[in-house]
Amino acid sequence: MTETRAHTETAVIAKRVDSGSPETAEIRELARAAGYEVADELTQTRTEDPAYHIGKGKAGQLSELVARAGASVVIFDNQLGPYQTYNLGNQLPDGVRILDRFRLILEIFGQRAQTRKAQLQVELAELRYELPRAEAKASLAKRDERPGFMGLGEYDESREQDIKNQIANIREELESIEETEQHRREQRRESGFDLVALAGYTNAGKSTLLRRLADDLDVDDNEDLHPDLDSTAESEDRLFTTLGTTTRKAELDRREALVTDTVGFISDLPHWLVESFKSTLDSVYRADLVLLVVDVSEPVEEIREKLVTSHDTLYERNEAPILTVLNKIDAVDDDELQRKREALSALAPNPVAVSASEGRNVDTLRARIDEALPALRRERLVLPMTDDAMSLVSWIHDHAHVEDVEYGDQIVIAFEGRPETVEQARAKASQLEATLEP
């Protein structure tokens, strides 16, 4: 697995597009997130060259650029084949590494992976990245009966099967972890918590919004129930600050919710990479409500494209309602915000517009969350005046919203809570009555 580097390396960015002007802002951010210092860039608009990806002449220019910058890494904002990587490597100064877009993303993920689940997902993605290259290496070498054909190195016929076996083992362990996490989610629901998930692209402001919504930072007082709750959630302007999930408790008007921030989506990811990190999105798929956070300061076409992709991802397995949050309204004026609301109305009907960084309209968002979550059920219980009944009253206070309690010869308590909580309270009350029967 990729390790964090001890010092910053200098990198040169390269990007090829079939048509139009190559944009490099995102790949620069990705490079910065990985800890690289970008010294220069080279771009080209042309059809892909099968041997060098960029043209051979451009490959020579790239070599000169790298030498002048003293760079040790070239980062392509494209996917490179093994043959292209080999040919480019022969053009560059000795010792210069080549990373394509997806290898760079894997490197970032490797640096961010702190939990066993995140580490397994990174390893799975790396293996899925390597598998077709191992298959190609073996196929080419067998076809030409020359190990190391085209400079791709010696091939081992068993390597392909080894990778497949490792992938199978990792998937099995991830399934086991997910079973444990699903059990934990069910415990939380039984404890009266609603589960809210934050989803959206990187740098949309999800972590900042989590900090605004979560007014109780000390949520680790019950390790058995909430072993993964964090007291911090970074909100710095870096991609992939959150690789795993961060969960915090948020107080709403009549209920308590656990809000989970998940890894951000990113554009132009191959299927194998998305698949590797699907279990990270289980917190989204199993939530009671999903907050889809978008950066409203971006161009409207870019926002629309991201919303379409997000909906495709979320609706694949998600059954919870989705509430779109237009974040960063501090970066646009009222007229621009209104134009974008109207332009996005088909994809984001009745969104909530907020500034997580300034805290604007967060109270409005809390109210909308409360409205969008599953309806609470009202209940009224009549309990005997006993110590056990007082314990049940205390339990109801902890797990539901108590509207009124009357103490006399009997205890009369009126409350509202999740259906599961109401059923539990009824069952406990029935048990109390049973113990009093002669």
Specify the CATH number for the domain of residue 420. 3.30.70
Q: Does the residue 342 lie in any domain?
A: yes
> pLDDT grade, residue 224 (50/70/90)?
very low
Measured between alpha carbons, how far is 248 from 196 in angstroms, rounded to an integer?
10
Bridge partners, residue 247, by sequence: 229, 260
Confidence (pLDDT) at 3: 47
Looking at the fold, whether 344 and 429 belong to one and the same domain comes out as no
Q: Cβ(195)–Cβ(290) under 8 Å?
A: no
Q: What is the CA radius of gyration of the chain?
A: 27
Domain boundary among 65, 81, 110: 110
Residue 212: is its pLDDT beyond 70?
Answer: yes
Shared domain for 139 and 206, answered yes or no, is no
Q: Is 329 annotated as a binding residue?
A: yes
Q: What is the pLDDT of residue 148?
A: 46
Check whether 278 is labelled as a binding-site residue.
no
User: Is 242 annotated as a binding-site member?
Assistant: yes
User: Which of 110, 137, 157 corresponds to the end of one domain?
Assistant: 110
Is 330 marked as binding a ligand? yes
Sheet with 401-407, strands from edge to edge, namely 377-384, 410-417, 401-407
204 is in an annotated binding site: yes
Confidence of residue 220 (pLDDT cuts 50, 70, 90): very low
Q: Is residue 3 part of a domain?
A: no
95 and 153 assigned to the same domain: no
388-400 pLDDT tens trace? 999 999 999 888 8
Query: What CATH number corresponds to the domain at position 259?
Result: 3.40.50.300
Residues 81 and 154 in one domain: no
414 annotated ligand-binding residue:
no
412, β-bridge pairs: 382, 406
The verdict on 323 and 349 lying in the same domain is: yes
Closest by CA position to 117, among listed 286, 245, 3: 245
Contacts 24+ apart (CB under 8 A), 169-175: 170/120, 170/123, 170/124, 170/127, 171/124, 173/120, 174/117, 174/120, 174/121, 174/124, 174/279
pLDDT digits (tens, 9 = 90+) for 97-116: 999 988 898 888 777 776 78
Residue 200 labeled ligand binder: yes
207 is in an annotated binding site: yes
Q: Report which of 132, 266, 125 is spatially closest to residue 204, judged by C-alpha positions.
A: 266
82 found inside a domain: yes
* Residue 98 and residue 136 in one domain: no
Considering the domain boundaries, does residue 230 fall inside one? yes
Question: Beta strand 377-384 with 410-417: parallel, antiparallel or unpaired?
Answer: antiparallel
328 is in an annotated binding site: yes
Measured between its terminal Cα atoms, the distance across the chain in Å is 66
Same domain, 101 and 120: no
277 — pLDDT class (breaks 50, 70, 90): low
Decide if 186 is inside a domain: no
pLDDT in the model for residue 120: 85
User: Is 260 one of the annotated binding-site residues?
Assistant: no
For residues 400 and 377, is the Cβ–Cβ distance under 8 A?
no
CATH of the domain at 52: 3.40.50.11060
Q: How confident is the model at residue 189 (pLDDT cuts 50, 70, 90)?
A: low
On whether residue 1 sits in a domain, the answer given is: no
Whether 206 has a binding-site annotation, put simply, is yes
Q: Is 372 annotated as a binding residue?
A: no
Task: Report if pTM > 0.85.
Answer: no
Do 122 and 71 lie in a common domain? Answer: no
Q: Which domain holds residue 172?
A: 114-181
Quote the number of domains for the chain.
4
- Residue 420: partners with Cβ closer than 8 Å, 6 or more residues away: 189, 190, 192
Neighbours of 253 (CB within 10 A): 11
Roughly what angle, to the nearest 10 degrees, separates helices 387-399 and 419-436?
Answer: 180
Q: Which of 83, 110, 137 is the last residue in one of the domains? A: 110
Cα gap 380→414, rounded to integer Å:
4
Alpha carbon distance 133, 405 (integer Å): 68
**In the predicted structure, residue 205 carries a pLDDT above the cut 80:** yes
Phi, psi (degrees; rounded to nearest 5) at 188: -65, -40
Same domain? For 417 and 367 the reply is: no
Q: Are residues 17 and 152 in the same domain?
A: no
3-state DSSP call for residue 242?
Answer: coil
262 is in an annotated binding site: yes
Please check whether residues 156 and 17 belong to one and the same domain.
no
- 2, part of any domain: no
User: Are 385 and 401 in a shared domain?
Assistant: yes
Q: Would residue 199 count as lying in a domain?
A: yes
